[in-house]
A = this chain, B = another copy of it.
Amino acid sequence: MKKYLVEFIGTFFLIFTIGCTVIPPNAGALAPLAIGASLMVMIFAGGHVSGGHFNPAVSLAAFIRGKLTTVDLLPYWLAQFAAAAVAAWLMQFMKLPGAAVAFGIGWKAALLSEFLFTFALAWVVLNTATAKGTAGNSFYGLAIGMTVMTGVFAVGGVSGGAFNPAVAVGVTLMGLQTWNNLWVFLVGNFGGAAVAALTYKLVNGDE
């Protein structure tokens, strides 16, 4: 139960920060830094208890890589999506509803963007937080959080830059995306994470 509570807390602050910095009046051009930092600090705080996923796609990658049990996968997902719902609900006290923005270039570029940067995110997570070769390091939270920052800077204008199905649901509940587009995130995020996990196992073996 403690792990699920930690996953809830971390995912909540990630998505609450996204709402606060993206819906006007917002943090403007610096929103990606705030978003990446919110993930970083929650990973540094909660990683030692739950692994610090805060992302259903990352939980899938950890499951494929053998660092999350079958018993834990569904409760992790539930905690993460519940955090998205609560963050979206609390945003009603903070800001006016956001306006949905269409994909900047089209769904193909959005899908490619979500796939590529969720691959990068899960690749960084598995290598910095679960690999023997980096055991005991003090940089895993920095690496993971700044991967999300980089992705939002790079393709935020193309797909919105979620790389995380719970984020996709959260921003859709906040009115920043449309339900019609949700499949792009589900396919891109879970797909990218799964390919990253398989690539990780190819490179690092099962250790």
Contact = CB atoms under 8 A, between A and B. Distances in A.
A154 B94 CA distance: 10
A146 B20 contact: no
A199 B32 CA distance: 29
A190 interface: no
Chain A, interface size: which category? 35 or more
A41 B105 contact: no
> Copy number of this protein in the oligomer?
4
A71 interface: no
A31 B139 contact: no
A15 to B, nearest CB: 11
A102 to B, nearest CB: 14
Interface stretch (A57-65, A121-129, A164-172, A177-185): A121-129
- 8 A-B pairs with least C-beta separation: A48-B133, A34-B153, A20-B154, A44-B143, A138-B138, A45-B127, A27-B153, A45-B124
17 contacts: A5-B199, A9-B123, A16-B116, A17-B154, A29-B30, A37-B150, A38-B150, A38-B154, A40-B142, A44-B134, A44-B137, A45-B143, A46-B127, A47-B134, A95-B105, A138-B138, A141-B143
A159 to B, nearest CB: 10
A203 B140 CA distance: 21
A146 B138 CA distance: 15
Nearest to A134: B48
Most chain-B CB neighbours within 10 Å: which of A6, A46, A139, A202?
Answer: A139
Interface in A94-126: 94-95, 104-105, 108-109, 112-113, 116, 120, 123-124
Contacts of A16: 116, 154
A55 interface: no
A123 to B, nearest CB: 6
Contacts of A42: 120, 124
